[in-house]
Amino acid sequence: MDLQTITYVIVGLSFALYLGIAFWARAGSTGEFYVAGGGVHPVANGMATAADWMSAASFISMAGLIANMGYGGSVFLMGWTGGYVLLAMLLAPYLRKFGKFTVPQFIGDRYYSTTARTVSVICLLVASITYVIGQMTGVGVAFSRFLGVSSEVGIYVGMGIVFVYAVFGGMKGITYTQIAQYVVLIFAYTIPAIFISLNLTGNPLPQLGLGSDMLANGQPMLATLDKVVTDLGFSTYTTTPAGSYLNTFFYTISLMIGTAGLPHVIIRFFTVPTVADARSSAGWALVFIAILYTTAPAVGAMARYNLHATVNTNVATGGDLFAPEAQLLNEQKPAWMDRWAETGLLKFEDKNGDGRVQYYNDKSKDEAFLAKAEAAGWKGSEMEVNADIMVLANPEIALLPNWVIALVAAGGLAAALSTAAGLLLAISSAVSHDLIKGVFNPNISEKSELLAGKISMAGAIVLAGYLGLNPPGFAAGTVALAFGIAASSLFPVIMMGIFSKKMNSSGAIAGMLSGLAVTLFYVFAHKGILFIKGTEYVDMVGGANGWFGITPEAIGTVGAMVNFAVAYAVSKVTAPPPEHIQHLVEDVRTPRGSGMATGH
């Protein structure tokens, strides 16, 4: 069978599996809709948590970012995995013991304030909606490339699939669907990596292959890659920092505390019977996550090597990369290049008219290298590669079997859909449980609340689809905005709610609003969205990365610091929490068991 047919078969079977599970795991109560009835086994919950955690960003983008950034891409590995450990150790067990359905409910009850609950809902909605845009965009990219339809049609199909298993199944349907999606995505990620590692190094384990010698030249994999990229004017792969060290540190912390504060993962720990099970499922989730995260550096490095080896045919032999015969002739371009060019994520332009493809760093600061490139007749790099194609295109670049390429398509869709469902449930529960029941209509019946939850879910899916089809410029241009929002608004107030019995509602509200305001101000000011005076942009942040070289993606750390500081200052000049709240905080931290999450 040809690639298109195989892809349709494998993706179609995965979708049929998801829909079958949704029919089997329909939610019949608010407990099943919000927390899957609170009876999920720790191992199963760990697998579902891993699928929820590993979004399209983890599956599609992370290895691509590592491939482009080299050593600097480690901020994503350290930030996202560190954030999970932070969540598992410092937040999840205590929130599970509190025994409620949602993060805003915890904040509202802990800070004895419907205002605090409402503000946290706003922060949750802004973070989750921003994050879900990327998932829907990832669905569109995967569909447009592998299934031969437009990205718009792909997003509509993705919306339909999520609608069935999320609206009817709620957390119960999402949980068991995410288990299936984890199996699909982990096989889709690791099987191509094993093939490619074997082809390049002879080692079947990509984690070990990364440190092994190349079969082509007998030299270490990373040393070979370093030579290739530096010979083409790029920075050394193994020693490239992500900006200044201060920015790298702040970026890592922002990703870490931002991911720990994202509610769609936190609510997964409300689905197990006891606090001990919450800790156990956290451990299992870390195991399942580690399988992909320890593979990602190898995938990134090998994809980068394969890409250069495709364009510069002398890469494998160590020959002169500037020789005319070393570059790929346009008529010799492999079919995968033309297929990916149709998506707009890979672009060509024959700038010197020689009919060949030159792919190098034409913005290099090395004048000797640029002089050599000019002497060779190069008029600028002729290929642009979007980092998001590195994982999806890697099997095609490596000429792997069609069924492996199709499996990667199914895995990318599973990663995007699993996280999108978790985010949509967080949005739905915030509207139905925290706003409608918690603020506007506390006496609503369970049946009516369940209906409100399903309607909210449907509305969230429509909104997510619309934003996926029409992504706002600030969200598309700022990858880590969702993490920065969660880091600066939700994480500090959750931490203080658990570990500081003196933190009061006034401090929590002021902290959330100030942290969120600082983050959004810095991000939007960089995008030119704020402070427009006529047609002239008024600079309010001192130029690009004007605050000590900190990028917008890293500003969540500053927002969190502001949140903590403002909350502490306000709490010192306002009334302390009531005695029963202080006793509640002490009790939550006491290492005893907890009953089923009730939501009351």
Nearest-angstrom CA–CA distance, 216 and 142: 32
To the question of pTM greater than 0.85 for the whole model, the response is: no
What is the residue type of 324? Answer: P
CA terminus-to-terminus distance, the chain: 55
Provide the token pair at 254: 């922002």
Q: How many CA atoms lie within 13 A of 366 on its CB side?
A: 14
The candidate with the shortest Cα–Cα distance to 154, out of 172, 136, 127, is: 136
Question: What does the alpha-carbon distance between residue 207 and residue 197 come to, in Å, rounded to a whole number?
Answer: 9
For residue 491, give Cα distances in angstroms to 81, 99, 253, 254, 485.
16, 19, 12, 10, 9
3-302+399-589 in CATH: which number?
1.20.1730.10
pLDDT per position in the chain (600 positions), as tens?
777 788 888 888 888 888 788 777 766 666 666 666 667 888 988 888 888 777 777 777 777 778 877 777 777 788 888 888 888 778 877 877 776 667 888 888 889 888 998 998 888 888 888 777 777 777 777 677 666 677 788 788 878 877 776 777 677 777 888 888 888 889 988 999 999 999 999 999 999 999 999 998 889 999 999 999 999 998 888 875 656 778 888 888 988 898 888 777 777 777 788 777 877 888 888 889 889 888 989 998 999 999 898 888 888 888 888 888 888 888 888 888 888 887 777 888 888 888 898 999 988 888 889 999 898 899 999 888 887 777 778 888 888 888 888 888 888 878 777 777 777 878 888 888 778 777 787 778 877 877 887 888 888 888 878 877 776 654 444 456 778 888 999 999 999 999 988 999 999 999 999 999 998 888 777 655 444 444 444 444 444 555 667 777 788 899 999 999 999 999 999 999 999 888 888 887 775 555 545 555
Residue 366 DSSP one-character state:
-
**Best CA proximity match to 117, nearest among 423, 433, 425:** 433
Domain residue limits, the chain? 3-302+399-589, 346-385
- The answer to whether the Cα torsion of 259, 526, 67, 345 is positive or negative is positive
